Structure 1
Amino acid sequence: MKRNRGAALLLVLLLVSLLSVVVVEFLRESRLEARTAANLRDALQAHALLRSGIAVGSALLREDARDNQVDHRGEPWADVIPPVPLGDGVLAVAVHDLYGRFPLAAVLNDRGEPLASRAEALRRLLEAAAPSDADPEALAEALLDWIDANTDGMYEENPDYTVPNRPLLDLDELRRIEGFTPEVVAAVAPHLDVRADPKVNVNTASVPVLQALHPDLGPDRAQELYDDLTETPLERATDLKNRSAMAGLAITRLVFEVVVESPRFRVDLAADVRGVNRTAQAVLERNRDEDRVRVVSWREE
């Protein structure tokens, strides 16, 4: 009888131990599912914040278009917008004028061949913007081989990627081009755009872009022009010739058409909801005549 009671006790203890393991595992799984659900909820809220950021950027650009016909670095859309608390999250929005950047596809003619003056302008930009240990000549050749229609260039044999021989679809493609290390891309990408429209808004152009615009401008004059345009933006593109940095330079040697208004912008967005972070980039096109801003591309990470 005592033996039966002892065996029963052992069986009870074993069952209690097994039940404890099951309960502990159930609680662990419950907590994991709760965290997963919370992260999913926060990720959805972060996505919603990013989409609301597009509305903010669009509203700024539409309001600006109604107010004036000139775009420059001193306008409200160009201001650094501090992170804004919204509900349980925080949203950061930054708007960039893409017409203040170098138009990469405009380097090519209708047959996909590099135009000599614009290819030289690309070299000047890379020399001004790339890290000091980079070779701007080699970078320019590799980039031109990537985008031009010619299949016989020095950099056509890329060991990792097929050279497409067409204009870039996105600046992320730069990372696939020989010589464009992460450091080089980080340095030069803020001065580039993939568009084919050969116009540049000098009011929002960086020093490397200004330097690329004219073969005789040089770094010192480009910096002088940048400072001048920051202080007093052009109201009319034709007035560029009257700025002191342009003294003695032939306006006819500008490699791109100078403008003072822009139809294409990029919005960088960052959202944080209880530690769940999401970022996005959107390209917006603005039509002043129709009072309309539309999203032409969206990438979320």
Structure 2
Amino acid sequence: MISLTKASSSQQGAAVIMALFTVALVAGIATTLVSNLGVAMNYVEGRHDQAQAKQLARGALDWARNVLADDFQNNAEIDHFGEAWAVRVPPTPVEEGQMSGELQDMSGRFNLNSLVAAEGPNAKNAEIFVKLLGLNGVPQNEAQKLSSAVQQWLMKNKPTSTRLVDVKELLSIKGFTPEVVTRLSASVAALPTEENIINANTAPALVLAAAVQNLSIDLARQVVAERNRTWFKDASDLKTRLANHQLEIGSSTFGVMSRFFLATVRAKYGVSMIRMEVLLDRSPQLYGSAWPAIIWQKTL
């Protein structure tokens, strides 16, 4: 009897343990399923928010392109910082999300790709670039080496029609350091053309000082301050005003119209935020419309 009782007790104990184990197992599986469901729902929600944020960013980009097209239709002869395109849009609630953005005029900067023309190295633009490097703290000898290095890079890639696309690509050219590229970033651009017609109404003081012979940086800042009060009407107006300071410019260096703009748009929806950079080309002669064409775009 005693052994039967012990066996029965052991079997009952084992049954209880198995039951508890089964309950624990089921509870664990249920917890995992609920957790996975939560992750899946968060993933789906995140994907949805990201898609909505991208849609808002595209809407903001279309708005920017429309502003540029409207500006050209209303005043195709001149571009300056007093126009609607130059106004930054602060974070603004829209469609259950938020968006902001700004347009920067790239035609007021020195075009790195103009260092080489169809027939070969462009000595005039190389001289401007060397001076611009010097104004950014690069010693004269080093500045000439850097300018030559960019020309050699462009000449080497010319058979494949490869140009610099982004200013940061300078880092792949011998001699350029992150510090130099950072300092240059507000004064130069990598545009899809060999031309270097600088908009005098939007050019920074450093660019003016580099492109106008004998123009000091202090006087360039004075010219910029005067310009921002009264915009240059055309290249002749710039020439006349510089003549008052006993300075001369080449007529082919400057204009007062802009072709290239960098649009930076930001959009937020739910838990997702999108930042997009787009280089726009507003050239009705090429595209048959004032609606700016997209040269490249980056989603960051």
1:60/1:77 contact within 8 Å kept: yes
Aligned to 1:85: 93
- In the superposition, the TM-score normalised over structure 2's length comes to 0.85
For 1:34 and 1:246, the matched residues in 2 are separated by 69
Q: How does 1:19-38 map to 2 (within 5 A)?
A: 19-38=26-45
State the SS of the aligned residue for 1:172. helix
**Cα–Cα, structure 1 residues 244 and 46, in superposed 2: closer, same or farther, change >3 Å?**
same
**Contact 1:93/1:270 (<8 A) preserved:** yes
After superposition, the C-alpha distances for 1:84-139 in whole angstroms (9 at most, x for unaligned) are 1122322111101111111112221223x32222112101112223589xx54454
Q: Give distance in 1, aligned partners of 2:138 and 2:92.
A: 34
Secondary structure, counterpart of 1:95 in structure 2? strand
TM-score, normalising length from structure 1? 0.85
The structure 2 residue matched to 1:190, chosen from 168, 186, 192, is: 186
Aligned-pair identity in percent equals: 27
Aligned residues: 285
Cross-structure match for 2:81: 73
Match of 1:283 in 2: 279
Q: Within the alignment, does 1:181 sit opposite 2:180 as a pair?
A: no
Counterpart of 1:126, as a letter, is: L
Structure 2 residue 285 is the aligned partner of structure 1 residue 297: no
Higher helix share: 2
Distance 2:138 2:123 in 1: 24
- 1:66–1:288 contact (8 Å) kept in structure 2: no
Mark the runs of 5 or more structure 2 residues left unpaired by the alignment: 1-7
Structure 1 residue 42, shift from structure 2 partner: 1.2
After superposition, the Cα gap between the structure-2 partners of 1:284 and 1:140, relative to the gap in structure 1 and judged at 3 Å, is same
Cross-structure match for 1:95: 103
1:2 is displaced (CA, Å) by 2.5
What is the CA distance between 1:257 and its match in structure 2? Answer: 2.5
| C-alpha RMSD of the superposition | 2.6
Check the 8 A contact 2:267/2:273 in 1, yes or no. Answer: yes
Structure 1 residue 145 corresponds to structure 2 residue 152? yes
| 3-state SS, counterpart of residue 169 of structure 1 | coil
Counterparts of 2:265 and 2:14 in 1: how far apart (Å)?
Answer: 67
**Do residues 221 (structure 1) and 229 (structure 2) align?**
no
Residues 119-134 of structure 1: pairs in structure 2 closer than 5 A: 119-129=126-136
Structure 2 contact 66–291 (Cα < 8 Å) conserved? no
Unaligned runs of 5+ in 1: 152-163
Q: Match of 2:166, as an amino acid?
A: D
Asked if 1:268 is matched to 2:248, the reply is no
